[in-house]
Amino acid sequence: MRALQYVEIGKPPQVVEIDKPTPAPGEVLLKVTAAGACHSDEFIMSLPEDQYIYGLPLTLGHEGVGIVEELGEGATGVKVGDAVAVYGPWGCGACKKCQEGHEQYCPHAAELGIAPPGLGSPGSMAEYMIVKSPRHLVPIGDLDPVAAVALTDAGLTPYHAIKSVMPRLSGASWVVTIGAGGLGHMAIQLLKVMTGASVITLDVNEEKLAFAREMGADHTALSDENAPEEIRKITGGAMADVVLDFVGIQPTVETAGKCVHTESEIVIVGVGNGALPVGIFTLPYETVVRAPYWGYRQELAEVVDLARRGKITVETETFPLDEGFKAYERMHEGSLRGRAVVVP
């Protein structure tokens, strides 16, 4: 079968021919129908050799949907022909975090050699993929695979981040979102569906800001040193109750710190390695700063449900598997609209 693999540090991923995998006991083999390209893939492919821990060659893709093709011995809960989405942050399945469905925080995954698909285990950018357990699968019913696939991360991650700040958001609240890309455009839609808050989105050019308004942002502003002053004007001096940063570089986390009022919350989702020190003189009093990872298993089912009801829609650009590397080129140049989806 064909797979898009990261083969050599610093080189673009390439399509290679590898053996079709066979499911071991308890595993599920999926025929992949769509695979999403995330900025985190670009991040790991930018790491120098001494920081890269995901193994080579690595079949990319931690967003995947497919059709159940074959069940390993003893695997139950799904049947051949089911259309499913893959919950990617795999844990041990047995510890307290995993039992709660918070598998992304399983403390045993690393020591047991368990890694998400595309981030250590072979990922979804291939004709077939192995899913370690049926518990990682969420039925998508008749949702279009291309439209559904990014729900597994670009949908789930902002959904989880927003759920954590729900108590702070009323109909009179202000939320600032930074970055209107794959995750950010879903965050805007989710905020409008889940809360009554007004959304102000920051991004780097007018085209992105127009896209954010199309997705439902009430206001937009350029993400530069003037952004906090713009937020002050838009909010009539109130400033934001919550900032969700889907970029996470030092300039954006610092912007986030300047856009909030006292007793507010900043959620850093982007892996730009920015850091915001919490101290009496660094941020408005009692500002909470949080950095979540991915989301809970049951939250993926909720996000899929929202999409099935037509309340959220992933904007996509598709690429055939053979040209999957182009998805990352476009991501790198910042010209994607919504999510890039690779179709095997």
Residue 279 contacts residue 257 (beta carbons within 8 Å):
no
Could you list the residues that contact ligand NAD (CB under 6 A)? 38-40, 43, 153, 157, 178-184, 202-204, 208, 223, 246-248, 251-252, 269-272, 293-294, 331, 334, 336
Tokens 């308004």: give the residue: 213
Which lies closer to ligand NAD via its Cβ, residue 172 or residue 275?
A: 275
Give me the residues paired with residue 243 across strands. 176, 266
Q: Where are the alpha helices (DSSP H) in the chain?
A: 39-45, 96-99, 145-148, 156-165, 182-194, 206-215, 227-234, 250-259, 297-308, 324-333
Give me the residues paired with residue 30 across strands. 68, 129
Instruction: Give the span between the Cα atoms of 227 and 95, in whole angstroms.
Output: 44
Phi-psi region of 317 (alpha: psi -120 to 50; beta: other; left: phi over 0): beta
Which lies closer to ligand NAD via its Cβ, residue 22 or residue 205?
A: 205
Minimum CB distance to ligand NAD, residue 336 (Å) = 6
Minimum CB distance to Zn ion, residue 121 (Å) = 14
Q: Residue 98: which of ligand NAD, Zn ion, none does it interact with, CB under 5 to 8 A by kind?
A: Zn ion
Instruction: Give the span between the Cα atoms of 36 and 62, in whole angstroms.
Output: 7
Extract the tokens encoding 241.
């109750």
Q: Residue 106: which of ligand NAD, Zn ion, none does it interact with, CB under 5 to 8 A by kind?
A: Zn ion
Q: Kindly list the distances between the CA atom of residue 172 and the CA atoms of 92, 109, 244, 262, in Å, as whole numbers in the listed order.
A: 42, 41, 17, 16
Site for Zn ion in 32-71 (CB under 5 A): 38, 40
Q: Residue 134: which of Zn ion, ligand NAD, none does it interact with, CB under 5 to 8 A by kind?
A: none
Task: Report the relative pairing of strands 63-71 and 2-6 from DSSP bridges.
Answer: unpaired
Kindly write out the interface string for residues 85-124 of this chain, putting x where it contacts Zn ion by CB under 5 A and - elsewhere: ------xx--x--x-------x-x----------------
Which lies closer to Zn ion via its Cβ, residue 174 or residue 319?
A: 319
Which lies closer to ligand NAD via its Cβ, residue 29 or residue 209?
A: 209
Minimum CB distance to Zn ion, residue 254 (Å) = 24
Extract the tokens encoding 195.
């809360």
Minimum CB distance to Zn ion, residue 270 (Å) = 11
153, 203, 302, 315: which one contacts Zn ion (CB under 5 A)? 153
241 binds Zn ion (CB under 5 A): no
Minimum CB distance to ligand NAD, residue 42 (Å) = 7
Which positions lie near Zn ion, rule CB under 5 A? 38, 40, 91-92, 95, 98, 106, 108, 153
